[in-house]
Amino acid sequence: MRIAVIGGAGHVGLPLAVVLADAGHDVTAIDSNEDRLLTIAGGESPFYEPGLNELLQSVLLRQRLVLHEQVSVVQDCDLIFIVVGTDLKGDEMPQNESVFEVARSVRKHLSPSSVVVLRSTVTPGTTAHVAELLDGVVADVAFCPERILEGHALEELRAMPQLVGTRTGEVPKCIDDLFSSLQIEVLAMTWKEAELGKLFLNTWRYTQFAIANEFANICESHDVSFSKLRTSLLYRYSRGTGLMAPGFAGGPCLRKDTIQLLKSTSFQSELLQAVLQSHDSLTSRIVDLVCREVGDSDKKVVQLGLTFKPGSDDLRGSVALELAHQLNRRLKNFFVVDPHVLPLPEFNFLSENEVADTADLVVVATRHPEFLGVSVRGPVIDAAGPRLLNESASSDA
């Protein structure tokens, strides 16, 4: 099958393009970001995803994947995926204009037999609008949300059932054929069901993380470690599944999609408003705690981790990064350590083995595996709690 992936150099688009190419399809990754395309053409992913570089090199070598900047190349494709970013606007309102823009620009290049599959996460009603924009020029428009977890993209793309939303709730044959070629099950539904379903899943996760943080706060007030307690609560107790570990939660999707869901409905969800507030307040609680400890002194504070989750190089929507910006503004001597990101000019970067000799206070923001061996003198403030460990002995962060 001939497939185009518009946004094919992105965190979602590139793994999708590579996995489809590896399954034997002729895939064109189309992206407006020339730098990313150049990096990919050299056999390297512009971001870290386990196994992606190796598979990318293999499909480039086998000439299964080609790269392009112009959407005009979609004219020979059977299926066209759209996976461009749908970040919130500055005023935090959802924007799906990026998707509409692609639909308008691609319109005149489509063939009447092709099917367009929207894969960006969008506000309910967006696919219907895309279908209106493409009315009469394509065979069908579907919404097939991406549900992969960064860091697990390849294995999940090859195994996870796909939600396929269409106008009638019936899956077009070429989509069925495509996922059959990967031995993946397809779950048929309507556009709105698939759009809502995607937002529900991320909002559900964000809510679970908020509750974990609320429990950690309650535990702290009782001088109890929630992390330790959680381990016991989950031990051979299946109904506890979903009781998440506390700490910063964010990234490019969870907060955005919760806001997107809230703004899409006339229903006033007090619970979801509270979830957003709970996450937002964690950063200010940590900043207040650090500032209380350090006061006006010259004490050196070292933050471990900037990315939105362990093992990742992704800084998008990272609460740890936001924390670092706030601490950097407030403190005289502030340093960061993150082995997964290139040094950012606004921060003083240290390596892991400089922490013990530098830090009067350590803030654990992202639990990268590399930090397990870091030895720490003095107090530790941990976003995952306990919030303040007043240990003078060395401890592992």
For ligand NAD, the binding residues (CB under 6 A) are 6-7, 9-13, 30-33, 36, 83-86, 98, 101-102, 120-121, 146, 148, 150, 252-253
Burial class (CB in 10 A: 0-12, 13-18, 19+), 279: buried
Work out how close the CB of 4 gets to ligand NAD at its nearest, in angstroms, rounded to a whole number. 10
Nearer to ligand NAD, 98 or 395 (CB): 98
Nearest to 339 by CA among 397, 291, 388, 255: 397
Which residues are within 8 A (CB) of 374 and not within 5 positions of it... i.e. 6 or more apart?
304, 337, 352, 353, 355, 356, 396, 397
**Contact residues for 256 (Cβ-Cβ < 8 A; gap 6+):** 86, 87, 88, 94, 121, 317
Half-sphere exposure of 323 (CA within 13 A, CB side): 37
CB of 243 to ligand NAD, least distance (A): 23
Q: Give the β-pairing of 380-382 and 348-349.
A: unpaired
Quick one: 10 or 247, whose CB is closer to ligand NAD? 10
Judge whether 241 and 234 are in contact, CB under 8 Å: yes
CB-wise, 71 or 219, nearer to ligand NAD?
71
Minimal distance, residue 87 CB to ligand NAD, in Å: 8
Minimum CB distance to ligand NAD, residue 150 (Å): 4
Q: Which is nearer to ligand NAD, 105 or 190 (CB)?
A: 105
Give me the amino acid identity at 368. Answer: H
Residue with tokens 């070292």: 302
Q: Measured from the CB atom, is 83 or 397 closer to ligand NAD?
A: 83
CB of 192 to ligand NAD, least distance (A): 17
Long-range contact set of residues 147-153: C-beta below 8 Å, sequence gap at least 24: 147/198, 147/201, 148/12, 148/15, 150/11, 150/49, 150/251, 150/309, 150/312, 150/314, 151/49, 151/50, 151/309, 151/311, 151/312, 152/50, 153/11, 153/15, 153/49, 153/52
Minimum distance from residue 39 beta carbon to ligand NAD (Å): 11
Residue 154 or 336 having the CB closest to ligand NAD? 154
Helices 270-294 and 254-263 cross at an angle (nearest 10°) of: 140
Q: How far is the CB of 253 from ligand NAD (least distance, A)?
A: 5
Q: Which is nearer to ligand NAD, 24 or 125 (CB)?
A: 125
End-to-end CA gap in the chain: 50
Minimum CB–partner distance for residue 368 and ligand NAD (Å): 18
Q: How far is the CB of 319 from ligand NAD (least distance, A)?
A: 16
C-alpha to C-alpha distance for 143 and 128, rounded to whole angstroms? 9
Give the residue closest to ligand NAD by C-beta. Answer: 10
d(CA 203, CA 197) in angstroms, rounded, equals 10
Q: DSSP for 222-280?
A: TT--HHHHHHHHHTT-GGGTT-PPPS---TTTHHHHHHHHHHT-SS--HHHHHHHHHHH
In this complex, which beta carbon is closest to ligand NAD, that of residue 21 or of residue 253?
Answer: 253
* Closest CB to ligand NAD among residues 116, 148: 148
Q: Which is nearer to ligand NAD, 252 or 386 (CB)?
A: 252
Residue 387 Cβ, how far from ligand NAD at the closest point, in Å? 29
